Amino acid sequence: MLEIMNQSFVTISIDDGHPTDLRARDLLEKYGLKATFYVPARNQERAVMSQAELRSLGTRFEIGGHTLNHVPLKMLPKRQAWAEINDGKKWLEDLLGIPVLSFCYPRGKFNAATAALVEEAGFLGARTCLFNLNTFPRNPFLWGVSTHASSHSPFIQVRHALLEGNLTGAVNFFRIFKASRDWESHFSRSLEYVARKGGIAHLYFHSWEIDNFRHWEKLERVFRHISAGRKFISTTNGELYRLWNLNLATARRRVMTLNCSSCRDGVYNAIYAAITELNLQLPKEKRIQPRPDTVLFGNEGKLDSLWLANFIVMAEQKLDDAFGIQVDLTRDDPFSTENGHFRTVESLARYASAEVENENKNGE
């Protein structure tokens, strides 16, 4: 993902299809920004815009699937979940007359089974409510967001991240977003980071929520800020999903050209680069040596759980930079102090090399 991650993308998604989305539409058009509106056919909780309004909106913005009845999918029987996903897609396509390729899980509730159903229905990707993320995901049906346009306390942010298994988001909340409570400040941190490092600044909101909190002026300030940033590429969610799929094919071809020796060398170099970056943040007495026998975690290791979490984020990014592959270093328990793959640099390199080689096999 290195080539595309060097670019600075901004994407906006608006959920639920409430009539106040039309006010958000007007602001987006005023500042020349793209966005994706996720709209269900029906919603028992609040109003949905008319079909005529939705057809008009679809001529200027991407419309994504949000199920038929805006129901959380995670607890539904498989047949019912399938009907919500697939029938909602068909309803939108019949109404708009174009393919609908983007999906958003109602209330952010999903599991592996529902994600598989979304893929089976023919969507290219799906957006979650995993917060504090600025990168392309490993799985296109698990797209995260940078900021929800509703202010959350640090306790809520961390609790939500841990419940969702979003370790990277929990670390990023402090490392990148500086534990910001106010959503405008929070998203500004994302824009600053993406402008410097590349990636995706993804803002999502409910127009009815913006209206309830009287945050339209705040939203307009954010749109003005985005529009003034010359580095930012405004995209829809669907455009990012397509880019992910195109880049995956390129990355797989790249991995297939690697041999085992160059793979291991590249893995060690990536890990050493992550150690160098981490040492800039560590107190002097906790700094670690970039050597195969260095103990990272557990007995005699210098990293506690929090610093290990920071290191995981850095190491995954360096591996992505090196190979164009998003390697998941948390697939198995990384916090096992005796037998975990983060025990030493050497054990981590073995694990990461195996993950890269698996990608090679998958791409053949």
pLDDT at 347 over 80: yes
Report pLDDT for 283: 85
Domain 2-247 belongs to what architecture? Alpha-Beta Barrel (3.20)
What is the per-residue pLDDT across 135-186, written as a single tens digit (0 to 9) for each?
A: 988 899 999 999 999 999 999 999 999 999 899 999 999 999 999 999 999 9
Residue 5 has pLDDT above 60, yes or no: yes
Cross-strand pairs, 201: 10
pLDDT band at 193 (very low <50, low <70, confident <90, very high): very high
pLDDT band at 337 (very low <50, low <70, confident <90, very high): low
| pLDDT tens string 303-331 | 887 788 888 888 888 888 777 777 878 76
Domain ranges of the chain: 2-247, 258-363
Q: How far is CA 355 from CA 256, 325, 334, in A?
A: 13, 10, 14
> Residue 300's pLDDT is what?
81
pLDDT at 319: 86
Determine the pLDDT at residue 155.
Answer: 94
pTM: 0.76
Q: How many other β-carbons are positioned within 10 Å of the β-carbon of residue 75?
A: 11
Q: What number of other Cβ atoms are within 10 A of residue 326's Cβ?
A: 20
Q: Domain 258-363 - what CATH class?
A: mainly alpha
Q: How far apart are CA 41 and CA 16, in angstroms?
A: 9
Residues 66-92 have a mean pLDDT of 97
